[in-house]
Amino acid sequence: MKITNKLLAECLGTFWLVFGGCGTAIFAGGSVGFLGVALAFGLTVVTMAYAIGHISGAHLNPAVSLGVFCNGRMTWKEMLLYWCAQIIGAIIAAAVLFGLVKAAGMEVGTFAANGYGEFFEGAAGYQQISCGGAFVIEAVLTFVFLMVILGATDDKHANGKFAGLAIGLCLTLIHLISIPLTNTSVNPARSISQAIFSENALALPQLWLFIVAPLVGAALAGFAYKGITCTCCCKKEAK
């Protein structure tokens, strides 16, 4: 598959993830609650996994691409191109959502951006977690997310037919855990796009955490999964 096709697929897929997930939070969050928003993010990944997974792998997330790179499944040049496509797709989706918010006469407000601590002051259902706590939860959840992705898409050891479902359900669970804490990132592209348009004064100053923490968790998972599979292979060869 040509790199251009992959990049277009990643741009489209990330657009859908942000549009579907953040769009649900913005327009229907008050009706469907945290569970509904979590399901929306999970469903965007499931649908795109089967729609474009065979084209680009449906990363839809710079952290996923970094984890895949650290696991040895893509080059650093391809990873950087994926990052560009994903961020562009996310920003386009956020721009469309911003236009729809204005067209509906709604307040932009937080705009489904990520944050921690005072960011959610006065917001019903949210906890004011510390910066350190937010970093830990984002890094840990991204680590688990990448372990699931790398395992479910492992051509040598897994049944790839159900990879999209497993990954989507994992993302749903991740959101159920951390929406009340950080509004759930585990995806730098999703965080960047919403922070740009958010009216919350802390959205941009706190953005660094939602770029760094997911990337740290993803990189650790990429190396960890490689170590686990190498250990398993060595044991089988020894027998």
pLDDT tens column, 71-86: 999 999 999 999 999 9
Please give the pLDDT value at position 155.
81
Please give the pLDDT value at position 161.
82
Please give the pLDDT value at position 229.
84
What is the rounded average pLDDT of the residues 114-129? 96
pLDDT tier for residue 41 given thresholds of 50, 70 and 90 = very high
Q: What is 178-233 written as a DSSP string?
A: HHHHHS--S-HHHHHHHHHH---TTTTTTTTHHHHHHHHHHHHHHHHHHHHHHHHH
Residue-averaged pLDDT of the chain: 95
Inform me whether the pLDDT recorded for 157 exceeds 90.
Answer: no
- Please name which of 90, 101, 91 lies closest in space to residue 29, comparing C-alpha atoms: 101
pLDDT tens column, 187-221: 999 999 999 999 999 999 999 999 999 999 999 99
Cα–Cα distance, 168 to 13 (Å, whole number): 13
